Structure 1
Amino acid sequence: MNRIASTGLFTRAIKYGERMAIVNTPVEGLGHHGSLTYNQLLNETARLSTELTKRGGRTDRDDINQERVAFMTTASTDYVCAQWGIWNAGGVAVPLSPLHPASDIEYFLNQSKASVVMADQDNYDKVKDIVKSLNCTHWIDLIKLDKSTEKYNNQNNNKYNNNNNQNNNQIFSIDRDRNAMIIYTSGTTNRPKGVVTTHANIEAQISTLVDAWGWTENDKILQVLPLHHVHGIINCLGSALWSGAVCEMMPKFSAKAVIDRFVQDKNGAPSRYQVPPLSVFMAVPTIYAKLIKYIETECDNDENRQEIKEAFQKLRLMVSGSSALPVPVMKKWKELSGHDLLERYGMTEIGMALSNPLHGQRIPGTVGFPLPGVETKVAKKSGELLIRGPQVFKEYFDNPKATAEAKDPEGWFATGDIVSVDKTGRYSIQGRASVDILKCSGYKVSALEVEREILGNEKVEDCAVVGIPSVEYGEVVAAMVVVKPGQTLSKEELDQYCRTHIVGYKLPRILRFVPEIPKNSMMKIDKKIVKKMIQDSIQIDSGNY
């Protein structure tokens, strides 16, 4: 008999029973295959939670009382089993990314005071080496995860294949206000903070998206995003499993693999993993830009492009988020796929707060309206967006000062993002107050607005705008630019383009061409590094802009 906690995700999973829950997309060289039904997922949840509570030979507990349990896996069924197993054991899940350097992992383990680290077979040796080298004051247990699908996908293994009855689950009560997860902020301007969310926070974040975006048990999403961030954890994985839908996990993004997968689904290649068909896709703007580039450079005939477009048109929803969607990318994607991307706004601390409508007009450069259950207001002097509601995080772990600075006594969270609101109530993001709102010659300049104009140049592939300190102007606008392959663009030509599209006080006074703009593991531009690179180049140029 499985002991299953009374969280919303788990109790709904019991209802979905033998429906398919998680599918691993086979990727050459990574060895992740197979799938799990909801019943099988619950079996693994119960098994792993027992392993956590009884570790060290203990028999006197069924609850690890909010111990922090870090875990690192490839994006696969193993990830979900680890996450759910931690929650079922009464622990706090701390997801780690295989993309993070060892120094970041060390910081997360020390800051969260993790007592256990779980890792799959792909990542165990890396985690083991990091734990061995840690200089910390507490003991950390290390658990190696078995491949969660092997026992079920072996047709001869009757011991497991016969244990799929939903009556095998015994529900026990768990406080929804208990801590459930710690996700670390991207840390592009400061040291990452551990964002603590409760089970109630997570359920509020998921349920509002399920309602707003029309999720049903007939959906299937191809999940390509990192799973140490709310975009992948809440928007993709959580929403699918809450709805009884299927989440197909692609362990490593490649434009070719994604395109091939959608075309395969369109053509109905026989596979028990392809029921139901793919219907939802979510990504960051960088991924959409990479898909566009692949289609334009590798799919060199109209027949191939039409087949790809037809494959995308079978989807009911495509979403973009985590950073501003450049208007040229949105327009080009519409041309190649037939989809108007749904752009939304959210943060680690709040889940999603604003969204363009599922049905209705989606205006480029805007992030729509407040989601159900989300309260918003705009600070009169600064224009900063404030958010309140059940989806707002509980606290920054072990950092009461930062928590008090971010949330006022009435529960309003200061996002740090400057917004504008039109007469219909539709929001647009002007940028981060800390890095995207520049003060030039007494004017406030939105870095995102300047970026949008530069990206309008047909020869520009990518760009990042930052402010560089200036004695004369306070800050000057600086732009780092990537030119499209096969194109040539001089500083003089780009400067002339900017002068015809951007008002004088917003003009970039510094232009730097680079082969690639630095980005973090969530594919967001790392403006701290961009700014340093430009400042270093100024010094090399003897101070000349």
Structure 2
Amino acid sequence: MSSPHPPLFPALAAAPDLPALRFGDRSLTYAELAAAAGSLAKSIGSARRVALWATPTLETAVGVVAALLAGVPVVPLNPKTGERELGHIVTDSAPTVVLAAPGDELPAALGALRRTDITLTGGTDSPAPPHAEPDPQSPALVVYTSGTTGPPKGAVLPRRAIATTLDALEDAWGWTSDDVLVHGLPLFHVHGLILGILGPLRRGGSVRHLGRFSVEGVRHELDHGATMLFGVPTMYHRIAEALPADPALAKALSGARILVSGSAALPVHDHERIAAATGRRVIERYGMTETLMNTSVRADGEPRAGTVGVPLRGVELRLVDEKGAETTDPAEVGEIEVRGPNLFTEYLNRPDATAAAFTADGWFRTGDMAVLDADGYVRIVGRKATDLIKSGGYKIGAGEIENALLEHPGVREAAVTGEPDDDLGERIVAWIVPTDPEQPPTDRELADHVAAQLAPHKRPRTVRHLTELPRNDMGKIMKRSLHA
């Protein structure tokens, strides 16, 4: 019986003998993936929800495809998650099965779940999915967001959000079945798993995962047929640092069709270094666990460092002031709100948090602060909770100060936060990893540098030196840890 809904992965249904996934020296064609995932899907079809031990392996990719074929919501688990947080996720999401690669050692928090090993061979029968394509509104994944206050919340992502986002990126990036994506991102999050694995599979193209990011791995894959690179700012920073001494890397990057950075802002300094060495501009896009992708610089549009481009097809975006009124002044910082089919359905078991996240007319409050250029390009200045500094009557975004600091030759890494100040309300604090720890730039030197680049009221009043900035698995700076 044919399904009234089109499949998430048409190429998988056709099962051609074309490359789909490669991790190191292990690979699967679409036919092999269809057989392996189809066989696993049949064995988990009765599960209410499954957990997935999300290592950067072929098994993880097969596991998530199998769950999607079976119409069973899947909860990706970060193997680095601590025991208490993992226990919360398992209790909250209540999976009945945990999927893992053979030989993976699982922590005690998963001990009560029935384990099913993910194998890379399917049965000899038809690889056709065991069920008709589920309704687009039905849940596909439950992805837990890092809790800034309290334990993480499970964002329920429906199938239509995945299809909508991936098809909007096809439009924005000219993404086709001829594209070969290389990335080295973890597979428990939206960027690495949905964009990096499910994206190529929806297009009928292929993905080569490095297992672990390395500049050498990127160079090799781009030299051998890869057309796209997905990374986070930490990865592009390492690429920018390596370029002066590696002409082969510059040549490989210059041959890529598209370079995409996400999960955090890519400093303008790294944009410019990569563009100068390769002639290619890195494209930035903006998304969240709850919304998948909202905006992107288009492949056929004007590259503009420091922006995340324009709203994707089907996405409505507006900026609102502190009273919730829409602002259209290009100089005015406002909170981004979005609406569209790319959004999550709810926070699992948290109707209170779900209700608080949306306005009465259905806009999702992102908590991200931005300004909107006159032609619709979005410039994010930071998170409402940690990156919007109210100092001396001004609303100041931490991001532009960080970019200015990174242009100083004595600064290797920088983060900016606000601290309470009796006179100013909040004072601007710069956290600096100096290029030369023996001869760091002086506080006055950095303050004058920022004042000259931006404005005097945006200069840091306090400078603190560190050997490194605290970052999470996706390369985002954990600003709350700075003050701790």
Please state how far the C-alpha of 1:488 moved relative to its aligned partner: 2.7
- For residues 203 and 379 of structure 2, what CA distance do their matches in structure 1 show? 30
Q: 3-state SS of the aligned residue for 2:9?
A: helix
After superposition, the Cα gap between the structure-2 partners of 1:339 and 1:387, relative to the gap in structure 1 and judged at 3 Å, is same
Please say if residues 15 and 34 of structure 2, whose CA atoms lie closer than 8 Å, have aligned partners that are also in contact: no
**SS, match of residue 9 in structure 1:** coil
Segment of structure 1 superposing worse, 354-363 or 393-402 = 354-363
In 1, the alpha carbon distance for the partners of 2:463 and 2:17 equals 57
- Does the 8 Å CA contact 1:5/1:171 hold for their aligned counterparts? no
Structure 2 counterpart of 1:506, which letter?
K
**Contact persistence 2:369–2:380 (CA under 8 A):** yes
2:290 to 349, 358, 366: 349
Mark the CA change 1:487 to 1:188 in structure 2 (over 3 Å): closer, same or farther. farther
Q: Does residue 109 of structure 2 align to residue 130 of structure 1?
A: yes
Are 1:455 and 2:406 counterparts? yes
The residue type paired with residue 115 of structure 2 is L
SS at match of 1:457: coil
Q: 2:70, 2:130 within 8 Å by CA — same for their partners in 1?
A: no
Q: Output the CA distance in 2 between the equivalents of 1:385 and 1:99.
A: 31
Q: Deviations over 1:298-338 (max 9, x none)?
A: x3xxxxx3322221122100011111111100000112232
Q: Which residue of 2 aligns with 1:18?
A: 17
Q: Which residue in 1 is equivalent to 2:232?
A: 284
- 1:378 and 1:507, CA in 2 relative to 1: closer, same or farther beyond 3 A? same
AA partner of residue 34 (structure 2):
L
Letter in 1 for 2:235: I
Distance in 2 between the 1:362 and 1:190 partners?
38
Q: Tell me if the contact between 1:466 and 1:477 (Cα under 8 Å) persists in the aligned partners.
A: yes
Distance across 2 between alignment mates of 1:416 and 1:498:
26
Give the secondary-structure state (helix, strand or coil) at the position aligned to 2:237.
helix
Say yes or no: does 1:332 pair with 2:273: yes
Contact 2:369–2:382 (8 Å) recurs in 1:
yes
Q: Any gaps of 5 or more consecutive residues in structure 2?
A: 324-333
**Shift of the alpha carbon at 1:242?**
0.8
| Cα separation, 2, equivalents of 1:235 and 1:89 | 20
2: CA distance, partners of 1:348 / 1:284: 15
Give the distance between the partners of 1:370 and 1:197, measured in 2 at CA.
20
Q: Give 1:255's aligned residue.
A: 215
- Normalised by the length of structure 2, the TM-score is 0.91
Alignment size in residue pairs: 473
Unaligned runs of 5+ in 1: 26-32, 54-62, 133-138, 153-158, 266-276, 300-304, 533-545
- Say which SS state the counterpart of residue 61 (structure 2) adopts: helix
Residue type at the aligned position of 1:364: A
Question: How far apart are residue 129 of structure 1 and its match?
Answer: 3.2
Write the mapping of 1:356-375 to structure 2, written as runs, cut at 5 A: 356-375=297-316
Q: Does 1:310 align with 2:251?
A: yes
**Identity value in percent:** 31
CA contact (8 A) 1:188 1:527 kept: no
**CA pair 451-342 structure 1, distance change in 2 beyond 3 A:** same
Per the TM alignment, residue 184 of structure 1 is displaced from its structure 2 partner at its CA by 1.4
Structure 1 position 486, deviation (Å): 7.5
Report what 2:474 is aligned to: 522
Partner of residue 475 from structure 1, selected from 422, 426, 430? 426
Aligned amino acid, residue 40 of structure 1: E
Q: CA-to-partner distance for each residue in 1:400-446, whole Å, 9 max, x for gaps?
A: 11100111343211111122112212211121111111111222111
1:293 and 1:331 mapped to 2: Cα distance?
12
Asked whether 1:218 is paired with 2:166, we answer no
Task: Find the residue that maps to 2:306 and give its secondary structure.
Answer: coil
1:128, 1:142 within 8 Å by CA — same for their partners in 2? Answer: no
Residue type at the aligned position of 1:406: A
The letter of the residue matching 1:439 is: K
Query: Bigger CA drift: 355-364 or 279-288?
Result: 355-364
CA distance, structure 1, for counterparts of residue 80 and residue 279 of structure 2: 33
Are the equivalent residues in 1 in contact too, given 2:21–2:58 (CA < 8 A)?
yes
> 1:128 and 1:364 mapped to 2: Cα distance?
43
- Structure 1: how far apart are the matches of 2:468 and 2:137? 44
Deviation (angstroms), 1:357: 1.7
Q: Provide, for residues 370-417 of structure 1, a one-character-per-residue CA deviation record: whole Å limited to 9, x for no partner.
A: 111111122144621111111111001111111001113432111111
In the TM superposition, residue 256 of structure 1 has moved relative to its aligned partner by 3.1
Measure the CA separation in 2 of the matches of 1:253 and 1:450: 29
**1:161-200 matched pairs, under 5 angstroms:** 172-188=132-148, 191-200=151-160
Paired amino acid for 1:417:
D
For residues 230-271 of structure 1, what are the alpha-carbon distances to aligned partners after superposition, in whole Å with 9 as ceiling and x for unaligned?
1112222222111110111221122333334434x2xxxxxx
The answer to whether the 8 A contact 2:41-2:129 is kept is no
Q: Give the superposition deviation at 1:68.
A: 2.4
Report the 3-state secondary structure (helix = DSSP H, G, I; strand = E; otherwise coil) of the residue aligned with 2:199. helix
Q: Secondary structure at the match of 1:81?
A: helix
- Candidates 83, 92, 95, aligned match of 2:64: 83
The 5 Å alignment of 1:306-455 reads 306-381=247-322, 383-455=334-406
**Structure 1 residue 20, shift from structure 2 partner:** 1.2
Residues of 2 paired with 1:208 and 1:260: CA distance? 29
Q: Residues 190 and 450 from structure 1, CA distance in 2 versus in 1: closer, same or farther, beyond 3 angstroms? A: farther
Matched residue, 2:53: 72
The aligned runs of 1:486-501 (5 Å cut-off) are: 488-492=439-443, 493-501=445-453
Alpha-carbon spacing, 1:11–1:217, altered in 2? closer, same or farther (3 Å): closer
The match for 1:105 is 86
Which stretch shifts more, 387-396 or 355-364?
355-364
- Cα contact 2:11–2:30 (8 A) shared by 1: no
Aligned residue for 1:180, secondary structure, equals strand
Indicate the RMSD between aligned Cα atoms, in angstroms: 2.4
Q: Give 1:454 shift.
A: 0.7
